[in-house]
Structure formats: C-alpha cells, structure tokens
Amino acid sequence: MRKKIIAGNWKMNKTVSEAQNLADAIKRDLDSEAKVDVVLCPPFTAISAVSQAVSGTQIAVGAQNMHFEASGAYTGEISAEMLREQYCRYVILGHSERRQYFGETDESVNQKTKAALAAGLKPIVCVGETLEEREADKYQDVIRTQINGGLAGLSEADFKNLVVAYEPVWAIGTGKTASPEQAQEVHAFIRSLLVELSSQAIADTVRIQYGGSMKPANAAELLSKPDIDGGLIGGAALDAPSFIGIVKAAIEA
C-alpha cells in the first residue's frame, strides 16, 4: 500500500505573512494527521517561515524548483543544500510552467532530479501533455519521453525517494479536470514506464500524484483509482479549507 501524498504548490503566491497565516490554518486542522503525507511548497522567500510554522508537526515543506549545481555563479538560483538548510524535504521539478516559461527541459529535469536525490531531497517530478498533444493522441509519446529523459540513470534507492506528478497541461488552472478514468489510464502507463526503468517491485512503491484543477469536490473520486496516489494542488491549495478538504478526502480514500 502506498501512502497517499497531497502537496500544495503555491506557485508565485503568498507573502511571508500570508504564507505564515495559511500554514498556521492548515496546521491547526491537520496537526495530528499522519495517515497521509502533506507537503506545503511556498515560494522561496516564505520557505523559512512555513518551516517554522509547521515544525513539530507531520507537515513537510517543499520548494518549487532548484538548480542542479551545488554553488557558483548562477545569479538568481537556489541550490539543494540551501533548501535543506531551510528544512525542505521535497522539491517540485519540471513543472509545466517551468518548461513553458523558463526553458526547463528533460535534460535539466534529470540533472536537478539527481542533484536533489544526492542532497537528500525527495523530488516531485512533473510530466504531462498539452491539449494539442492529447487531441493528436500523442500523449503517451510525450509522457514516455519526459519520464525516460527526466528519470534517466536513477538507482533503485533513488526510485524509493521519488514522487511523480501527472499534470495534464490542459487541466492546470482551467477548471477542467482529467476524468478519473483518463487520469488512471495515464498513471498506470507511467507506472509501466517506471517498471521498465527499475522493476515491478520498485515501481509499485513510487507514488504518482495527479495535478490539474483538483479540489474537494473531485478529489475523492480521483484518489479512489488504484494508481492515483495523491495530488499536486495549485489554486485549491491557497485556501486552507479547500486544501484541508482534499487532505481529508485522501485520508478517507
């Protein structure tokens, strides 16, 4: 049985004080919940405050990106070690917004994934097709390329610390959710790709999150599917009651 994992990707939202308020509100309701892994991923500037707010609870903190080098002349970038120092345990890598707006490629996702794992962070590696790719029935090819490129060269131990997020680009922030059946089909496909890269036994331990307009109203049905092991939540993670509603759906799933 894979433990479900619900992560909030706050994207470029929340000042430090707003982030603190949101983390406090989530903590108040979820403090003692250990049945599901809960991760908050604020912007870099609020990581320290959110880490402090949730310290001593089961809630973990993650970042939304990092650089693959340990240090050096990379203006504007943040290393894995810097995230660890702020008590991050997870890092989202290869989000479609990073691919679309910031030139992220499968190669850089692979470098970052390896660097994160080497530094003791758990990467949440995002994959997903655009609407055009889905309509042209190319989504499996796109996802195969992203998985094989992003996860190339990982060891068995690495796979045990990996989380994959399937986020169809057409469902992000659009209010359009993949149907539970559509999502399950892709999640099972992703798991079959993980089997090719590792083994059935290892692939069975990797958690695959769904992301794209997940909310309390649709979470339970998505999370009831056998290969949907959690959610990567954008908009609904910015509001404590709706994020908590999704976590509660995961606890009951």
Coil vs helix vs strand at 145? helix
Closest CB to ligand 13P: residue number: 234
Is residue 167 flagged as an active site residue? yes
**Coil, strand or helix: which one is 40?**
strand
Told to check if 146 binds ligand 13P by CB under 6 A, we report no
How many Å apart are CA 43 and CA 57, to the nearest integer? 20
* 242 near ligand 13P, rule: CB under 6 A: no
Q: Is the dihedral of CA 51, 228, 136, 236 positive or negative?
A: negative
Ordered DSSP codes for 87-128 = TEEEEEES-HHHHHHH---HHHHHHHHHHHHHTT-EEEEEE-
Q: 123 forms bridges with which residues in the sheet?
A: 91
Provide the minimum distance between the beta carbon of 169 and ligand 13P in the complex, in angstroms, as a whole number.
9
By CB under 6 A, is residue 226 in contact with ligand 13P?
Answer: no
- Residue 234 found at the interface with ligand 13P (CB under 6 A): yes
Q: What is the DSSP letter of 71?
A: S
**From 5, 91, 172, 223, residue interacting with ligand 13P (rule: CB under 6 A):** 172
Fill in the per-residue mask, 50 to 79: x = in contact with ligand 13P (CB under 6 A), - = not in contact. ------------------------------
Q: How many C-beta neighbours within 10 Å does residue 69 have? A: 14
Residue 128 CB, shortest distance to ligand 13P, in Å, is 9
Selecting among 97, 104, 133, 167, the annotated active-site residue is 167
Provide the residue type at 176 as one letter. K
Write down the catalytic residue from 67, 95, 97, 133. 95
Q: Which is nearer to ligand 13P, 198 or 230 (CB)?
A: 230
Q: How many CA atoms lie within 13 A of 132 on its CB side?
A: 0
Residue with Cβ nearer ligand 13P (184 or 213): 213
Q: Which stretch binds ligand 13P (CB under 6 A): 50-58, 72-80, 182-190, 227-235?
A: 227-235
d(CA 90, CA 9): 11
Cβ burial 92-128 (10 Å sphere, 16+ → b, else e): bbbbbbbbeeeebebebbbbbbbbbbebebbbbbbbb
Q: Are 123 and 163 in contact (CB under 8 A)?
A: yes
Task: Establish whether 95 is a catalytic residue.
Answer: yes
* Interface characters, 204-223, with ligand 13P (x: CB under 6 A): -------xxxx---------
Q: How far is the CB of 139 from ligand 13P (least distance, A)?
A: 17
**Which residues in 178-207 contact ligand 13P (CB under 6 A)?**
none
**Which residues are marked as active site?**
95, 167
Q: What residues make contact with ligand 13P under the rule CB under 6 A?
A: 9, 95, 167, 172-173, 211-214, 232-236
